[in-house]
Amino acid sequence: MTRRTFTVQQADGNRELVLDLVRAYNLGFTIRDEEKMRRHLEECHRVGVPIPVVTRPPLVMPISTWAVLTDDVITVQRDRTSGEVEIATVVDADGVIYVGVGSDHTDRALECIDIPWSKQVAPNVIAPTLWRWDEVADHWDDVLMESWVVDGGVRMKYQEANVSEFWTPVEMLQGVRDSVVDSGGAIAFLSGTVVSIEETLRFAEEWTIRLIDPVLDRIIEHTYRVEVLAREVLNDGSVDGGIVAGTASAR
């Protein structure tokens, strides 16, 4: 169980929501357009990530709740990590549904070996602001999502999509309930993502994720910076292919 605090932005004012998350999940194969989903899978495959075969969507990957963060700085082990914009759904212990935006930051080198493991070792970032689902459900298909990156010091738009391209949060929640044992309590899950604008993964130093509601004229936006821990190790070891091949000699 992990305690996380969010701000719920609602019609009658903001309020604090404190949740004890008991489970978190990364979902896949929730995009309605199979061609767009294939293009994202191929985008990942070009850096060596195997394309999973899923006969009964959604693909559900359990993630430890301690990996769910709302921070604006995250740490990763190696350089080849990247984020992506996703629909974040949070459900409290009473079954009330909230929606927001997230990024399942992923170690892409490790993803070539084990996809769930690669999701576990890097943070699942969720913006600290949420909306009540019942306030957006009637116009959900008008909501937009996008991501921006700073890569090599250059800021650029990385992804854009309409949320209607995905299953709704209610459909995804049902997919989770049909796929895993009910642990009781609050849960959070991310939807999966769309192919990037350039159809090329970027290993950027900063990520901005946005959820835009043009009907209620409000935006959830969250930016986080990536710090690579391996760059801070001061020893006489060497790094070969992302694996530490030597260590500092005894002195």
Q: Which domain holds residue 216?
A: 2-244
Whether residue 111 lies inside any domain: the answer is: yes
The whole-angstrom separation of Cα 93 and Cα 113 is 35
Give the tokens for residue 111. 């993803």
Q: What is the CATH number of the domain that holds 24?
A: 3.90.850.10
Tens-of-pLDDT digits for all 251 residues of the chain? 899 999 999 988 999 999 999 999 999 989 887 777 677 667 667 766 666 667 788 999 999 999 999 999 999 998 999 999 999 999 999 999 999 999 999 998 888 888 888 889 999 999 999 999 999 999 999 999 999 999 999 999 999 999 999 999 999 999 999 999 998 999 999 999 988 999 888 999 999 999 999 999 999 999 999 999 999 988 755 555 444 444 443 33
pTM for the full model? Answer: 0.88
For 34, the enclosing helix (H) or strand (E) is helix 34-45
Whether residue 251 lies inside any domain: the answer is: no
Whether residue 249 lies inside any domain: the answer is: no
Name the domain count of the chain: 1
Whether residue 91 lies inside any domain: the answer is: yes
Whether residue 32 lies inside any domain: the answer is: yes
Whether residue 126 lies inside any domain: the answer is: yes
Whether residue 85 lies inside any domain: the answer is: yes
Whether residue 250 lies inside any domain: the answer is: no
